Amino acid sequence: MNVLQSYRVGSLHWSDGGAGDHLLNLLGPSVVSFAIAVYSRKKLLSENLLVVISAMLISSAGGLFGTAAFVRAINLGGKNGALVRLSVLSRNITTALAMAVTAILEGNIAIASSVVVLTGIFAATFGRTILDIFGIKDPVTRGLAIGSAGQGLGVASMAPETDAFPFAAISMVLTAVCATTLVSIPAVKDAIVKVATGA
């Protein structure tokens, strides 16, 4: 646990900050750079607005409740693993908002950050291959799937697919915003906590 806490200590000073602090500082400009690709495909995005909105709602609610059900089903963390379970629920939300979601759910931000990074690495490494194996060729579907599941690293892996990349970028942002909004609603937060912990 100490290693995870030293990863992100909350300082951006070059000698005091952890690796996670410095990487998080670079995350903002990298996400803003996705806007160029999104703008270049604005007509394609507007033609698929209903699909994008549907994907955002399904991926944010499904990601939160699906992960909550899964971690409870596998008894993650054992009998007293409520903190661990609550900490991994934000796994498909981009790092900055995953920390906010974890704070709202009263989880551990160090664990959440690590799980988010691992999820992004997995999506970037295997996401496109998995979509190919299942025969998913539609660029809109490919972009929305990777963006809603793989955060920034997953989105960056879609850069070679010029029609899919903007959908991945917009999906990443909208899924994170929608999930954060959902968790901010007390009734939804309580339902997620109950599914994850049984309490």
Distances from the Cα of 61 to the Cα of 39, 90, 174, 175, 191, angstroms: 27, 11, 12, 9, 11
Q: Map tokens 């033609």 to a residue.
A: 47
Q: Which pLDDT score is estimated for 199?
A: 75
Work out the percent of the chain whose per-residue pLDDT is above 70: 80
> Rounded to an integer, what distance in angstroms lies between the CA atom of residue 126 and that of residue 73?
25
Domain assignment present for 3: no
Domain assignment present for 15: no
Domain assignment present for 25: no
Report phi then psi at 108, rounded to 5. Answer: -100, 120
Q: Map tokens 């704070």 to a residue.
A: 103
Token readout for 2 is 């100490």
Domain assignment present for 142: yes
Domain assignment present for 132: yes
> Rounded to an integer, what distance in angstroms lies between the CA atom of residue 180 and that of residue 99?
10
Domain assignment present for 169: yes
Number of domains in the chain: 1
- Answer yes or no: are the C-beta atoms of 175 and 56 closer than 8 Å: yes
pLDDT tens string 46-83? 888 899 999 999 999 999 999 999 999 999 988 888 99
| Domain hosting residue 154, numbered range | 36-197
pLDDT tens string 145-162? 999 998 888 988 998 998
Q: Specify the 3-state DSSP secondary structure of 92.
A: coil
